[in-house]
Amino acid sequence: MSESKQMAGIRSTQLFEQAQEHIPGGVNSPVRAFRAVGGGPLFISSAKAAEITDADGRTYIDYVASWGPMILGHAHPEVIAAIQKAAALGTSYGAPTELEVEFAKEIKSALPSIEKIRLVSSGTEAVMSAIRLARGFTGRDKIVKFVGCYHGHSDALLAKAGSGIATFGLPDCPGVPAETVKHTLTLPFNDITALEVLFKEMGSEIAAIVLEPIAGNMGCVLPKSGFLEKLREVTSASGSLLIFDEVITGFRLGRGGVQALYNIKPDLTCLGKIIGGGLPVGAFGGRRDIMDHLAPIGPVYQAGTLSGNPLAVTAGLTVLRILRDESIYKKLESQTAKLVAATNDAAKSAGIPISINSIGSIFTCFFTDKKVVDWDSAKTSDTTRFAKFFRAMLAEGVYMAPSQFEVGFLSIAHSDEILEKTAIAAKKAFETLA
Ligand SMILES: *Cc1c(COP(=O)(O)O)cnc(C)c1O
């Protein structure tokens, strides 16, 4: 193991010390602090294609991809040029633009379930607004979410789990009043029986089910056969809405997201990450009759000073237009399959039990011998072993998400050469665990 990259370098360490003086925990989003894996975070100074460079001038192969947006790789020349050109025209007007119309059309052409769409500035805002709209539209308060699914940090969606079939949500987080989450019901992912029991009991009171139709925030977890179909069935039967949170999966698993892969039509869809092309954009959209409940034509209020920001929309639109080329997704899928195969081989020859879930260009290597189908099975992972693996990979120049319960992302810049380097690193990293 090359000692030089074993932990954060001198400059990153100094910056982290300073940051902790001025910023809670030294970071502007908690997972960045590396607390699940130990050691201080790398401070990043630049990124290009599949690699990022830290403040100490060390370069790493990047599988975080800004948590998903960088599907074309970092600093893609066409995207950067478009942003530069847009910046010269002014960075924000607080008034409508032609760009927003183009952007709405582009998204609608990829996701036919979206008849109208509204832009916001983050995934959190998108899901929060979709929930308000669903409640306003149905006149019902209760919502259903699944344990292990993340939908941003708005109050109502921070409720996680209780055990049993449907536990009335208890706040996971101080500062979230119990009253705020008492209408949030949680169910285990992939549990069709629990879903049926809940809807039989109180389906007529439920405004919406919201879920990541392929989960990415407990690591990658796929819906089991019939699960999404059953969600569509019970919501339709009870007059509840089905909301797909495709903030990760939208434009990542093909242009049409999970809804195209599984041929399920949600009532509302939330987007973020890729659609901003690396700038802050979120969106929610869906059935016209529902979307028309939004102000100014309907009674449900929702607004944003920087919503539809021309710089952000330009970045997103440039990326989405490049992604019209469906061969990109085929390539991403085959590159990911190579990486998964190499990782499985490396783990096997080192005798380390792992269970990899993967689809399209996302993957999670769970350190467990169990099949991971929900939060409970994800939790069987040996997180200490994961942390050791993470540090060994970092030492070999590979930057992965600093938590067992995240997905890794490939970009079109992850070439065969990059994958081969990763495979060699993984082989060494697994050997340190044996
Ligand atoms: C990242 C994410 C969000 C929140 O998006 P932010 O832009 O971080 O607010 C919501 N839902 C899912 C599925 C996500 O992965």
Q: Please spell the DSSP secondary structure of 287-345, one letter per residue.
A: -HHHHTTBTTTSSB----TTTT-HHHHHHHHHHHHHTT-THHHHHHHHHHHHHHHHHHH
pLDDT of 178: 85
**Environment class of residue 351 by beta-carbon count within 10 Å: exposed (0-12), middle (13-18) or buried (19+)?**
exposed
pLDDT score of 96 more than 90: yes
* Residue bearing tokens 């990541």: 212
pLDDT score of 132 more than 90: yes
Q: How far apart are the first and last CA of the chain?
A: 15
Kindly report the protein residue whose alpha carbon is nearest to atom 6 of ligand 1: 123
Lookup: tokens for 106:
């582009």
**Exposure string (b/e) for 262-286, b if CB count within 10 Å is 16 or more?**
bebbbbbbbbbbbbbbbbbbbbbbb
* Contact residues for 154 (Cβ-Cβ < 8 A; gap 6+): 124, 125, 127, 128, 131
pLDDT of 5: 55
Q: Is the CB of 250 under 6 A from ligand 1?
A: no
Collapse the DSSP code of 120 into the 3-class scheme (helix H, G, I; strand E, B; otherwise coil) and give the result. Answer: strand
CA proximity to 359, closest of 331, 333, 323: 333
Q: The domain 3-71+326-433 is classified under which CATH number: 3.20.20.70, 3.30.200.20, 3.90.1150.10, 3.40.50.2300?
A: 3.90.1150.10
Output the CA 302–ligand 1 centroid distance in Å. Answer: 18
Neighbour count for residue 102 (Cβ, 10 Å): 15
Q: How far apart are CA 271 and CA 261, in angstroms?
A: 16
pLDDT of 52: 98
pLDDT score of 402 more than 70: yes
pLDDT of 76: 98
Helices 327-350/416-433 angle, 10° precision: 20
Window from 134-143, 166-175, 231-240 with minimum mean pLDDT: 166-175
Fold assignment, 77-322: Aspartate Aminotransferase; domain 2 (3.40.640)
As a whole number, mean pLDDT of residues 15-44 equals 95
Output the CA 415–ligand 1 centroid distance in Å. Answer: 27
Is residue 90 a contact partner of residue 275, using CB atoms and an 8 Å limit? Answer: no
Output the CA 293–ligand 1 centroid distance in Å. Answer: 24
Q: Is the CB of 247 under 6 A from ligand 1?
A: yes
pLDDT of 234: 98
Q: How far apart are CA 83 and CA 88, in angstroms?
A: 9
Output the CA 5–ligand 1 centroid distance in Å. Answer: 30
Lookup: tokens for 331:
């390539």
Collapse the DSSP code of 178 into the 3-class scheme (helix H, G, I; strand E, B; otherwise coil) and give the result. Answer: helix
Task: Using a pLDDT cut of 70, give the percent of the chain over it.
Answer: 96
Q: Is the CB of 127 under 6 A from ligand 1?
A: yes
**Would you list the domain boundaries of the chain?**
3-71+326-433, 77-322
Task: Using a pLDDT cut of 90, give the percent of the chain over it.
Answer: 90
Counting ligand 1 atoms within 8 A of each CB, the residue from 31, 150, 158 with the most, and so the one to mutate, is 150
Is residue 315 a contact partner of residue 276, using CB atoms and an 8 Å limit? Answer: yes
Which H/E stretch holds residue 10? helix 10-22
Give the pLDDT band of residue 176 (cuts 50, 70, 90): confident
Q: How far apart are CA 343 and CA 352, in angstroms?
A: 11
* Contact residues for 194 (Cβ-Cβ < 8 A; gap 6+): 165, 166, 187, 188
Sheet containing 44-48: which strands, arranged edge to edge? Answer: 44-48, 51-54, 59-62, 398-399
Tens of pLDDT, residue by residue over 303-361, are 999 999 999 999 999 999 999 999 999 999 999 999 999 999 999 999 999 999 999 99
Positions annotated as catalytic residues are: 150, 245, 273
pLDDT of 7: 82
* Contact residues for 410 (Cβ-Cβ < 8 A; gap 6+): 63, 65, 332, 335, 336, 339, 361, 362
pLDDT of 363: 98
Ligand 1 atom closest to the CA of 245, numbered from 1: 13
Give the pLDDT band of residue 159 (cuts 50, 70, 90): confident
pLDDT of 165: 40
* Contact residues for 20 (Cβ-Cβ < 8 A; gap 6+): 26
Tens of pLDDT, residue by residue over 251-280, are 999 999 999 999 999 999 999 999 999 999
Output the CA 333–ligand 1 centroid distance in Å. Answer: 22
Counting ligand 1 atoms within 8 A of each CB, the residue from 128, 149, 248 with the most, and so the one to mutate, is 248
Counting ligand 1 atoms within 8 A of each CB, the residue from 27, 121, 122, 124 with the most, and so the one to mutate, is 124
Q: Is the CB of 62 under 6 A from ligand 1?
A: no
Give the pLDDT band of residue 162 (cuts 50, 70, 90): very low
Query: pTM value?
Result: 0.96
Kindly report the protein residue whose alpha carbon is nearest to atom 14 of ligand 1: 247
